[in-house]
Structure 1
Amino acid sequence: MTDKELLDDVTAVGDEELARSLKEVWHVNRYLGGNPALFRHMRELLRKAPRDRAVRVLDVATGLADVSLALAAWSRRHAIPIAITGVDIHPRILKLAAERTAHAEAIRIEQADGRELPYPDGAFDVGFCNLALHHFEEEEAVLVLQELSRVCRFGWVVTDLERHPAAYAAAKLLAKFVWRSPVTRHDGPLSVRRSFTAGEAAELIARANVNGTVKRHFPFRLALIGHG
């Protein structure tokens, strides 16, 4: 897929518009099935991690770090000590994420490329990447899965859209009637077109040669789960 989303080149988007679009993406993820799929599998992984210290968690392509904030809140409610490192490749997105998490002691924000993470093997207990895999070409997506497997001891979760005609139609309706940001209106339907089917996601795992499975979730969500 050669078409690029506007968020793939944030230099073309102003700070206010960038923040507004990322917030709209967060609301879609929160209310249209993305977060439940991610949290279901993350909870399973977190319960496998050691409890004698804070669980080390990696958030790849963190965006506004909303998922990290929600995960930190969940961990507090369940008395699970956690230390989250949120990474992104874009400096301007990192600045927004750092501002958004300034009050959260459990979260730190760092610049890193999910295709070549600057961390040693097993540096984290678990990791996740939410709603970002479709931004990568297939070979790059394979690298992301390999890197998550390398740095996460107990496993990882990658959640994203599932490419489907009905999901594309729904995104077109949201772009026309709900989303206000021109960035989201452009990127939303394109995100569905660029996303993977369940079969393609399974093929990515096979090509990465990692221990993983694919689960489908309603509505039109995929969860790729890496088993440590």
Structure 2
Amino acid sequence: MSAVTGPAPRDLSRRSEQPELMDTERVGFEEFQHCLRDLRRINFCTVAYRPTLTWLDRLVERTGRRRLSILDVGFGYGDTLREIHRWSIKRGIEVALSGVDLNPWSAKAAALATPPDAGIDYRVGDLFDLPDDDRPDVVISALFTHHLPDPDLIRFLRWMEDRATLGWFSNDLHRHAISHGFARLMVAALPVNRLVVHDAPVSVARAFTRDDWTRLLDAAGFAPDDVTVEWFTPFRYGVGRVK
């Protein structure tokens, strides 16, 4: 009698190249919007905005700036920009907030979820096609970099360094057996969209270790002391630079 075995453990020793359904599958707007709403709930429950807001606090403290223009690359549902809007009100910081995303449905869903008085400009397009004179104080991304293969990510790091006048910050997942297992358990337990069920553990497998970030930053031309790589609970890396 043969033993019953489960699925083979995923190899997390290096970044996965498995695609996410949100990047490859055509779905209707309502399902896409549903998926973004589910991801926003997960982000809220896992305090996913904290690394970005913590870094912005440090940026303001270090530079003394009370006005900031901030560009969010791959804004998705726009929830990070809305959290920054709330942060700016609490801190008394004047902000000009904008985002760029390849998916026009992201812009539509984000706009529908955003109060008009927030004044957030959601744009559709390729970040590398933005005009040369579009140079915000700060470039951020959240859960964006794991979508990129290494060569594109290295290009993105160089692009942020060139475009951001004050600094830049990436907030993304830590690839680890615990975070991967947690993602699988979470989507099994929660009533979430099928895209999230598939993509959540894949996102972790596509994400990064500290060694990955060290290697990628070196390939992008940064000296070890140029950029901070900080671990945040639960299983996030904040990678940032203040010029």
Whether contact under 8 Å (1:121, 1:152) holds in the other structure is no
**Residue 153 of structure 1: SS of its match in structure 2?**
coil
Distance (Å, rounded) in 1 between the aligned partners of 2:117 and 2:178: 38
Which of residues 69, 73, 89 in structure 2 aligns to 1:60?
A: 73
1:49 to partner: Cα distance: 5.8
Residues 141-189 of structure 1: CA deviation (Å, up to 9, x unaligned) = 1111111111111111101010000111101101211142001000001
Q: What is the aligned partner in structure 1 of residue 88 from structure 2?
A: 75
Q: What is the aligned partner in structure 1 of residue 34 from structure 2?
A: 20
Q: Please, which moves more after superposition, 28-37 or 167-176?
A: 28-37
Distance (Å, rounded) in 2 between the aligned partners of 1:202 and 1:104: 40
Which of residues 200, 208, 232 in structure 2 aligns to 1:217?
A: 232
Distance (Å, rounded) in 1 between the aligned partners of 2:121 and 2:196: 27
Which of residues 35, 48, 63 in structure 2 aligns to 1:34?
A: 48
Distance (Å, rounded) in 2 between the aligned partners of 1:133 and 1:212: 16
Q: What is the aligned partner in structure 2 of residue 8 from structure 1?
A: 23
Distance (Å, rounded) in 2 between the aligned partners of 1:136 and 1:224: 15
Letter of the aligned partner of 2:141 in structure 1? Answer: C
Q: What is the aligned partner in structure 2 of residue 180 from structure 1?
A: 192
Q: What is the aligned partner in structure 2 of residue 139 from structure 1?
A: 151
Question: Which structure 1 segments of 5+ residues have no match?
Answer: none
Matched, 1:92 2:105: yes
Matched, 1:164 2:176: yes
Whether contact under 8 Å (1:163, 1:196) holds in the other structure is yes
Residues 191-215 of structure 1: CA deviation (Å, up to 9, x unaligned) = 1111111110121111111432211
**Residue 159 of structure 2: SS of its match in structure 1?**
helix
Distance (Å, rounded) in 2 between the aligned partners of 1:104 and 1:140: 35
Question: Which structure 2 segments of 5+ residues have no match?
Answer: 1-15
Aligned length in residues: 224
Distance (Å, rounded) in 2 between the aligned partners of 1:204 and 1:33: 26
1:19 to partner: Cα distance: 1.1
Q: Return closer, same or farther for 1:197/1:30 CA change in 2, 3 Å cut-off.
A: same
1:132 to partner: Cα distance: 1.2
Residues 79-128 of structure 1: CA deviation (Å, up to 9, x unaligned) = 111001111011121221223235134311112323x1514367111121
Fraction of identical pairs, as percent: 27
Quote the RMSD (CA, aligned, Å).
1.8
Distance (Å, rounded) in 2 between the aligned partners of 1:31 and 1:120: 37
Letter of the aligned partner of 1:5 in structure 2? Answer: E
Matched, 1:110 2:123: yes
What TM-score results when the alignment is normalised by the length of structure 2?
0.86
Matched, 1:130 2:145: no
Q: Which runs of 4+ in 1 moved over 3 A?
A: none
What TM-score results when the alignment is normalised by the length of structure 1?
0.91
Distance (Å, rounded) in 1 between the aligned partners of 2:133 and 2:210: 28
Structure with the greater alpha carbon radius of gyration: 2
